[in-house]
Structure 1
Amino acid sequence: MSLGFRYGIEHECALLRTDGSLADFASATFEELQGVVDALPETDDPDLRTGDQGIKRKRWYVEGYERFDLDGELVRCDPKGLEIRTAIHGSVEDTTAALASDAALLDGAARARGLVPVTVGFNPLRSAYTVDPPLNAWERRHRQGSPEERTADLHMVTYGPDLNLSRAGLGGAALVDVGRKLTYYSPWLVPLSFSSPFRDGAPWGGLSARTALRTGARPAALVFLGPGDEQIPSDPSLTQPARLPAEIGRIEFKAFDACPGTDLYGELLSLLTGLICDETLPGRATVPDAAAHRRVAGPGLADDDVHRCTGALLDAAERALPGAEAHVARLASLRERWARRECPATELLRRHAEGGSLPALLAG
């Protein structure tokens, strides 16, 4: 059954050294991490952006915070970790297979240089990135270019995916409506992905430090519109002008925590597919409800009201995908996780309670 969707995944990795220490902005250099990227194969995909500085030439690149001089010339990039981004594919299966293949290539290149890619939603040792030295005049102007530029320091301690979807035939108004729907229901979607129960070296008392800090200040969903479509002013952004022809019509869901493996990403893509197809859910919001995200970040699906609301979204997605067997199968697997009130963070906390060290937990 063809629904006219195309998919992509952008997945952020943290990095451990082989001695168990974290290789982040406090201890690693851009050049060290770029050495891993340099060892990976060149790619030639016109659908992927290279970025203003040309750093994003491959399906893998160093994610970080760029610093500039007074003339706007790049002087350094403080690294956060590495990002994998798939090409655009016509099915969830092809997309997750591409991510798995590229993750395996990254793992080999990183380990050869004493680094181990790991999945976690929040920096487990450092809760904040300090912009040092303070922004100069050019940087202050640059960082006011969008709400996301202004809050870019927050992303330095958080790790997550952009789950990208597009559907043939959706015009600008319909795309905005989808973005507003996903933004409204984000607090009850994200608990399925929670994977950040640690901060400052210990459990913090909840399941998603990433959600507690990030969502509200930064978007839950973002849609990319064509040159003739009306942009919606909001803080954080709901819409952006497409930077490439391939981006026109893209819907990015940005609020999930980074997930280990690829199975859960596939299930979440099917859930988003169903919610985009759904025509029954009434909720709409232009900006995320930060307070609601903070409330769910602690208990996640252990809270009965959250569990009920998430279950209702699974119901709506299933109703919207009759006959789409692969999507329905992935939703059935996701429903099993929901029934167990399970997310990656609950497994991390269980293993931590059994005496697992933090580096060993992250390394799997």
Structure 2
Amino acid sequence: MFFFGIEHEVAFVNQEGEFADFSCTKFADFEQIIARLPTYPSDYPQLRVGDAGVKSKRWYIEGFERFANSGEAIDCVPKGIEIRTTIHSDIQGAINELSASFQLLREVAADFGFSPVLISFNPHKQTYVPQPPLNDYEISYLQGYPDEQTANIYMVSYGPDLNISADNLSTERLIDIGRKLTYYSPYIVPFSYSSPFYNGCLWSGLSVRTFIRTGKRSAALVFLKKAEELIASIPSLTKVARIPAEIGRIEFKAFDSCDDFSLYAALLALLKGLVLDETLTERATVPDAALHQLSAKQGFSNPDIFIKATHVLQAAELALVNDPDVHYLTVLKQILKHGQTKSHQLIEVYQRLGSIAATLKQTYRD
């Protein structure tokens, strides 16, 4: 049996039409939204609350936590609000919960002047620099967590974690699946591309997020039970599960964000097919940064990316041939056939309207 979950980062514009990032938004601005959203006691222990207690609901403020030299948490610099679903035994259940949570977030955020917009990389800020600079405690803390040292990237990038797990997978099998997804990542991430803006301008490719992020941060992350099971890599491929519900979870982290949640259903089905597939033989422990950059620039218009993506999609479809989830792959076949991603749509709207702000307002439309 398979299990599925989704973590979806939401970016916002404020009532002045500004992109609501760390330059103009405080923790309290988003906290008032979170305070109005409900708590579901039955969600736990499926969802991790964390040491700082910020993740106490299905919605929480995504950002960079700041600490005093004493180690006390004193602030969280926000970049947006993350929605996470509980664990579901079917793909549609996860999609339905995400859709309901997003709609509730949208309604409450509107009361405070915030509107969700789809983007996978901050369209105006190239990087994040902590202010004030990191103190001695923070520097020491971050040295113990290599992935946390790339806050300059994750504070300007937005994307989903698509979570999948299955019964009775050994540690060796889990790591093998993680290495498989890492290798084939540059061929499947174009299905989701939605970040064609950079530094206030139209970028020369389809996914700034992929170009900058992947290679420095993980494409896939596998949660294991014990520290002795981990394998060494930077960025990390494996991580010790923080709660029992995480043990055996495989997170695919390299997709761009989607405002059509049915695409997440298709991508989860693709991941399921790749878990079941036994024909694709290539593996990688760390993402190929150069290949991801080529993919980010050209997407499916690159012949090699197109051919390999076709091969991967066919392998997943064959693995799911007797599974009802195979129908979710239809949308991916259409994207591949026409070579048109969400970024192509955003570029077309931008060229027509001449404004990033106006373009972003066309996203998340009912």
Q: TM-score, normalised by structure 2?
A: 0.96
Q: Distance between the aligned counterparts of 1:276 and 1:229, measured in 2?
A: 24
**Paired residue for 1:43?**
40
1:12 maps onto 2:9 in alignment: yes
1:229 Cα shift? 5.9
Matched with 2:169 is: 170
Counterpart code for 1:335: K
Secondary structure at 1:166's aligned position in 2?
strand
Shift of residue 358, structure 1, vs aligned partner = 1.5
The secondary structure found in structure 2 opposite 1:223 is strand
The CA distance in 1 between the partners of 2:16 and 2:52, in whole Å, is: 32
Q: Between 298-307 and 106-115, report the one with greater CA deviation.
A: 298-307
Q: Which TM-score applies when normalising by structure 1?
A: 0.97
Aligned-pair CA distance for 1:264: 0.6
Contact (CA 8 Å) 1:260, 1:344: kept in 2 or not?
Answer: no
Deviations 1:191-213 (A, max 9, x none): 11110000111111111000011
- The corresponding residue for 1:90 is 89
* Secondary structure at 2:8 match in 1: strand
CA distance, structure 2, for counterparts of residue 179 and residue 363 of structure 1:
36
2:23 maps to: 26
Conserved 8 A contact 2:197-2:208: yes
Q: How far apart, in 2, do the equivalents of 1:12 and 1:243 lie?
A: 21
Deviation at 1:356, TM superposition (A): 4.9
The ranges of structure 1 where at least 4 consecutive aligned residues each deviate by more than 4 angstroms after the TM superposition are none
Residues 163 and 252 in structure 2, CA contact (< 8 A), matched pair in contact too: yes
Residue 266 (1) aligns with residue 265 (2): yes
CA distance in 2, matches of 1:145, 1:191: 33
CA distance in 2, matches of 1:42, 1:363: 29
Residues 89-134 of structure 1 deviation map (CA, whole Å, 9 limit, x = unaligned): 0111000111000000000010010000112110011111112222
Give 3-state SS (helix, strand or coil) of 2:353's partner. coil
Q: Which moved more, 1:54-63 or 1:35-44?
A: 35-44
What is the SS of the residue equivalent to 1:298? Answer: helix
Letter of the 2:6 partner, please give it.
I
Structure 2 contact 353–359 (Cα < 8 Å) conserved: no
**Greater shift in the superposed pair: 98-107 or 73-82:** 73-82
Cα pair 2:4 2:91 within 8 Å, conserved: yes
Identity among equivalent positions (%) equals 47
Shift, 1:19, TM fit: 2.6
Paired residues in the alignment total 360
List alignment gaps of at least 5 residues for structure 2: none
The SS at the match of 1:222 is: strand
Report the aligned-residue RMSD: 1.1
Decide whether the 8 Å contact of 1:222 with 1:251 is kept in 2. Answer: yes
Moved more, 208-217 or 351-360: 351-360
Per-residue CA deviations over 1:54-113 (Å, capped at 9, x if unaligned) read: 000000000001111111111211110010000000111000111000000000010010
Deviation at 1:261, TM superposition (A): 2.1
Contact 1:151/1:218 (CA < 8 Å) preserved in 2? yes
Q: How far is the alpha carbon of 1:228 from its aligned partner?
A: 7.5
Which deviates more from structure 2 when the two are superposed, residues 348-357 or residues 6-15? 348-357
In 2, Cα distance between the equivalents of 1:159 and 1:279?
A: 32
Instruction: Tell me the CA shift for residue 152 of structure 1.
Output: 2.2
Following TM superposition, by how much is the alpha carbon of 1:135 offset from its aligned partner in structure 2, in angstroms?
1.2
* C-alpha distance in structure 1 between counterparts of 2:164 and 2:72, whole Å: 34
Structure 1 match to 2:341:
343
2:278 partner SS: coil
Amino acid aligned to 2:353 = G
Q: What is the aligned partner in structure 1 of residue 142 from structure 2?
A: 143
Unaligned runs of 5+ in 1: none
Q: Which amino acid aligns with 2:359?
A: L
Q: How does 1:349-360 map to 2 (within 5 A)?
A: 349-360=347-358
